[in-house]
Amino acid sequence: MASPSLIPAHFIVFFVVSRLMSILGNLRPSKNSLPCEIDSLGVHAKLRYDLDAIGLASTDYGNIVHEIPSAVLYPTSIDDIIELIKFSNECPLPFNVAARGHGHSVRGQAMAHDGVVVNMLSLKKHYKNGNGIRVSTSGNYADVGGEQLWIDVLNATLEHGLAPLSWTDYLYLTVGGTLSNAGFSGQTFLYGPQISNVLELDVITGKGDFMTCSKDQNSELFYAVLGGLGLFGIITRARIVLAKAPKRVKWVRMIYSDFSIFTRDQEHLISTKGLEYLEGSLLMDYTPANNWRSSFFSPSNESQIISLLKKHGILYCLDVVKYYDDETTNSVDKDVQMLQEGLNFIPGFTFMRDETYVDFLNRVRRGEITLKSKGLWDVPNPWLNLLVPKSRILDFNAGVFVDIIHRQKKTTGPLLVFPLTKIVWDDKMSAVVPDEDIFYSVGLLHSGSFNDWQDLDNQNNEILEFCDRAGIKMKQYLPHYKSKEEWIKHFGPKWNTFQERKAQFDPRMILSPGQNIFNYV
């Protein structure tokens, strides 16, 4: 595969634009597929059919799938969304509706072929009071619009010295978008995914009903929507748990050459008290030690790592973070030292950074800015995210990391692997995880070019086939399947409940067609 970094930025921008233009053709969104009565609705004036609106709604971070909607709604209030969904329900042949958060899906999940995409970010501009993020007087929670970006939630809550507990690695994602999947990162082993840190939701169901739900009120809707892939309703408000925010972090990276020792230490660390974040990643001898997602190593550290890579071929990085503030500033180094006691990383290969809490949480943004400046952000990103049961993670390493990825040397993107604990996930929610107490999040974050991303996707298929053959009962995160059978297998024992909830909250199957679940049923 040609490394994207060899391609000039202006060429890539030109390529993306011309490719999109060719996909959209003489862009004539098939407005005809919407009933003409739509023109008499109050929201009529907020529907857009122009190239900019349609172009944006038919692309996403993945840059692989492009579905052209008939129109895009730019709502100024949640009543606009209610009116649109109710209208679709009244039509003899309802049209599809998809909420689009920040469009950071990788397989067209927020698109709506011939339907209407709701540009949720449009709501941000229309708050009469405040900015859509309200911190409670008790300080225990914030009420946040579903269209809000997590970076804005962080900044608004920090003004009160508070912050949510559970994060994603990247903060330019909407609250509604991550809660529709799960939302996890290095804090998740301790605090649970973002869907486990929600107290209450306001949701517009697929019938157009506006409902408030929680564990105690309309609980079936609450559990359906969390991890529900946008299929049951559109989240317009989430009540997110808050806690006192730390000021700074000690971020430690330790290097391993043996995967079984690496995972043993990871599992040991998540079972002990004292750290707030744990992740892991792989370094390969054919890629640079720093990548866009993490430029952790200084130039001198980097050359040390490169010589180690020459010897071992693959290295494993274990990242842990300890939060601290004024009261704990004197003890934090000692605490970090204690956490490292008994760990078996390669002697001398431990590196530490000291950062503000905000810089640490917002670390991936730095990589995004660099990639954007080189024109390398808006390229095809055929990511594969898996949750692999702990009992098979060594087989996964041998069969996938070593025998497929390292042998083929195709992917240059970040490769993540770190353990999560099932106890902090609520099984009543729609999100699906493997049936073991500990499972590993594996993120194969490939980036390709418009000519060769298919090569990486073929490798993804090889990985999925390997897991199938080896009987590794992994689950896809941010799943995408083409057939009903695959979806039924994905949901396993949850499938019947999933279907029943769909019939209850979106009986005409209007919402989230880009997930390709009920379109095939």
User: Among 234, 270, 361, 384, which residue interacts with ligand FAD (rule: CB under 6 A)?
Assistant: 234
Place of tokens 């900019």: 52
Alpha helices for 351-475 (secondary structure H): 357-361, 363-373, 393-396, 407-408, 453-470
Which burial class, exposed, middle or buried, applies to 437 when counting CB atoms under 10 A from its CB (0-12, 13-18, 19+)? Answer: exposed
Tell me which residues are annotated as active site: 104, 169, 279
Site for ligand FAD in 133-152 (CB under 6 A): 146
Does 322 sit near ligand FAD (CB under 6 A)? no
Contacts of 129 (CB under 8 A, 6+ apart): none
Please tell me whether residue 230 binds ligand FAD under the rule CB under 6 A.
yes
User: At 315, which helix (H) or strand (E)?
Assistant: strand 314-324
C-alpha distances (whole Å) from 510 to each of 72, 86, 88, 94 are 15, 10, 8, 7
Query: Is there binding between residue 387 and ligand FAD (CB under 6 A)?
Result: no
- List the x/- string, 394-433, binding to ligand FAD by CB under 6 A: ----------------------------------------
Residues 6+ apart with CB under 8 A from 67: 58, 108, 111, 112, 113, 514
Q: Which stretch binds ligand FAD (CB under 6 A): 42-50, 105-113, 215-223, 387-395?
A: 105-113
Choose one: 164-172, 213-221, 319-327, 446-454; the region binding ligand FAD (CB under 6 A): 164-172
114 contacts ligand FAD (rule: CB under 6 A): no
**Strand order, beta sheet including 71-73:** 47-48, 71-73, 116-119, 97-100
| Alpha carbon distance, N-terminus to C-terminus of the chain | 37
| Token pair of 239 as six digits | 């009540």
Is residue 281 a contact point for ligand FAD (CB under 6 A)? no
CB of 22 to ligand FAD, least distance (A): 23
d(CA 189, CA 335): 19
Would you list the DSSP string of 96-114?
Answer: PEEEESS---SSSTT--TT
Contacts of 427 (CB under 8 A, 6+ apart): none
**Residue 513 Cβ, how far from ligand FAD at the closest point, in Å?**
9
CB 171 to ligand FAD: min, Å = 9
Residue from the set 4, 103, 380, 413 that interacts with ligand FAD by CB under 6 A: 103
Between 343 and 429, whose beta carbon lies closer to ligand FAD?
A: 429
Q: How near is the Cβ of 249 to ligand FAD at its closest, in Å?
A: 17
Q: Which residues contact 355 (CB under 8 A, 6 or more apart)?
A: 248, 249, 251, 363
Candidate ranges 23-31, 158-166, 228-236, 283-291; the one touching ligand FAD (CB under 6 A): 228-236
Q: What is the DSSP letter of 291?
A: B
| Interface region with ligand FAD, contact rule CB under 6 A, candidates 169-177, 246-254, 312-320, 425-433 | 169-177
| Of positions 229, 314, 387, 405, contacts ligand FAD by CB under 6 A | 229
Question: What is the residue type of 189?
Answer: F
Nearest one of 378, 374, 379, 351 to 294, comparing CA atoms: 351
Interface with ligand FAD by CB under 6 A: which range of 3-11, 352-360, 498-506, 507-515?
Answer: 507-515
Residue whose CB is less far from ligand FAD, 132 or 246: 132
> Is 208 a residue that touches ligand FAD (CB under 6 A)?
no
Residue of the chain from 61, 87, 189, 453 that contacts ligand FAD (CB under 6 A) = 61
**CA separation, residue 163 to residues 144, 158, 181, 242, 354 (Å):** 12, 6, 21, 5, 19
Query: 309 vs 514, which CB is nearer to ligand FAD?
Result: 514
Does 512 help bind ligand FAD (rule: CB under 6 A)? yes
Minimum CB separation from ligand FAD for residue 293, in Å? Answer: 8
Considering only 66, 104, 392, 480, the residue that binds ligand FAD (CB under 6 A) is 104
- Which H helix or E strand runs over 414? none
Question: Does residue 289 contact residue 309 with C-beta atoms inside 8 Å?
Answer: yes
Q: How many helices (H) and strands (E) does the chain have?
A: 17, 18
Binding mask 26-55 for ligand FAD (x = CB under 6 A): ------------------------------
168 is an interface residue for ligand FAD by CB under 6 A? yes
Binder of ligand FAD out of 58, 59, 105, 187 (CB under 6 A)? 105
Considering only residues 171-200, where is the footprint of ligand FAD by CB under 6 A?
Answer: 173-174, 176-178, 180-185
Closest residue to ligand FAD using C-beta atoms:
176
| Cβ(475)–Cβ(386) below 8 Å | yes
Binding site for ligand FAD (CB under 6 A): 60-61, 98-105, 109-110, 120, 146, 168-170, 173-174, 176-178, 180-185, 229-230, 234-235, 478, 512, 514-515
